[in-house]
Amino acid sequence: MTAKPTPMTKVTFEALGVEALATAEGRVAVVLSPDAKMDAAAQRINELTQGALERLVRMAATKDSADFKPGGVITLSVPANMAADALDVVCLSHSGSVEDARKAGAALAKVRGTADMLIAMGDIGHAAELGFGLVMRDYGFNAHKTDAKPAAGAVRIMCAKPEEVQAAAAPLMAVAEGAFFTRDLVNEPANVLTTTEFADRLKAMEDIGLKVEVLEEDALASLGMGSLLCVGQGSDSPSKVVVMHWNGGPEGEAPLALVGKGVVFDTGGISLKPGAGMEDMTMDMGGAGVVAGVMRALALRKAKANVIGLVGLVENMPSGNAVRPGDVVTSMKGDTIEVINTDAEGRLVLCDVMWYAQERFKPAGMIDLATLTGAIIIGLGHENAGVFSNDDDLCNAFLKSAATENEGAWRMPLGKAYDEQLKSRIADMKNVGGRPAGSITAAQFLKRFVKDEMPWIHLDIAGVASVKTDTTLAPKGATGWGVAALNRLVADKFESK
């Protein structure tokens, strides 16, 4: 049962034509600055509605409406002398921020439903960003609903210099498509997104220019990936590693390596999780989903950088063949690991893929992503991912990129003292260090598989990959967090200018 990808709203940009405002069906939106000064489009709409637009804005201003502040929307239903079913009034300043423009686009997406929409922006800036916000929020995972709503209508944005805006929007829409790809993967149920189906979807990205390799269990065994393989040995689904290559930079230049945890379902194994809420463990492949989305975005916008995306795909199930608490496994690096808790499986997957990435590709830097610990949610909630790093320059560059894209990220500490918690009596290390500083000891475990002088970031995205409430740019469920931030990092730090 392979589901079709969630379609993206089609957004086009065109020059202002006031004659279209009266005849456009669906919804019409007009963008006004906070001082409510009207451009030609607003004047025409006010004329058509016999002053209703001016009265609406004045009433909102009088009431100090939160909806008529930058990024907000107020609505006039069934506007007179217009074919549109509703008129939406968007507040944006000429000197407004990218965040406000995206917020306004998201607000429009929420009110429009599936209707066609014509947006008159005039010469107010950030039209491309408004379109991006609208597309990002206009997402719904309906692949398995028999009564799914019809596809959303098209959006036309009237703006100054539409050709330039269209060009500026193209890479943003590539990021949106990458985020949609991530969301679809994270939202999929585990009986659909098996390890084989996941690998097949990644292999299909060769159609957009990626080179994709799928390493099967025999190859992983030959490489010595005993840590990764132990996680999936209790499942009927075969464990795999998928390697995605994007070679858009100078030939021979060391790539950035992105490594993702892809546990398509996590029961906890023999250390079985409580039944309540276990259905959410379909999202435990969130790190791999983000890596896949970033690679898709880079390929679609033809990034001038060399980036390798590697994901370890496994399923953690209890069975007569499952790894047991107390077992000792050997990693690709050669270090032995005492498995104290089979529910701390993500780090067992990541450590082998990280070592493989360094051995084979000798990257310029490495970033791993994983829904790794519940402890990071206790510490940071659902607002920020945990950021752990051995390199200030790379870490600060990522934090700047995340802030630019308004994707929450907070740096957490590392330190040798935490290694004491990982000491094992019978092996080189344990896979858990107990409850204190659980997310930090997990990062310290991974750090043992980072070579000296390798710039590295570990992103614990357990709290941000999938959420129970709407966010600004996504409905509840999978968020696609990290696609925009990592794409920005590649553009700012690794891309040839």
What is the Cα–Cα distance from 291 to 262, expressed in whole angstroms?
Answer: 10
Is residue 102 annotated as part of the catalytic site, yes or no?
no
**Annotated catalytic residue within 103, 137, 296, 347:** 347
Active-site pick, 273, 400, 411, 493: 273
Q: How far is CA 136 from its chain centroid? A: 11
**Separation of alpha carbons 9 and 83, rounded Å:** 22
Confirm whether 347 is a catalytic residue: yes
Sole residue written with tokens 């075969």: 238
3-state secondary structure the chain: CCCCCCCCCCEEEECCCCCHHHHCCCEEEEEECCCCCCCHHHHHHHHHCCCHHHHHHHHHHHCCCHHHCCCCEEEEECCCCCCCCEEEEEECCCCCCHHHHHHHHHHHHHHHCCCCEEEEEECCCCHHHHHHHHHHHCCCCCCCCCCCCCCCCCEEEEECCHHHHHHHHHHHHHHHHHHHHHHHHHHCCCCCCCHHHHHHHHHHHHHHCCEEEEECHHHHHHHCCHHHHHHHCCCCCCCEEEEEEEECCCCCCCCEEEEEEEEEEECCCCCCCCCCCHHHHHHCCHHHHHHHHHHHHHHHCCCCCEEEEEEEEEEECCCCCCCCCCCEEECCCCCEEECCCCCCCHHHHHHHHHHHHHHHHCCCEEEEEECCCCHHHHHHCCCCEEEEECCHHHHHHHHHHHHHCCCCEEECCCCHHHHHHHCCCCCCEECCCCCCCHHHHHHHHHHCCCCCCCCEEEEECCCCCEECCCECCECCEECCCCHHHHHHHHHHHHCCC
Point out the residues that are catalytic. 273, 347
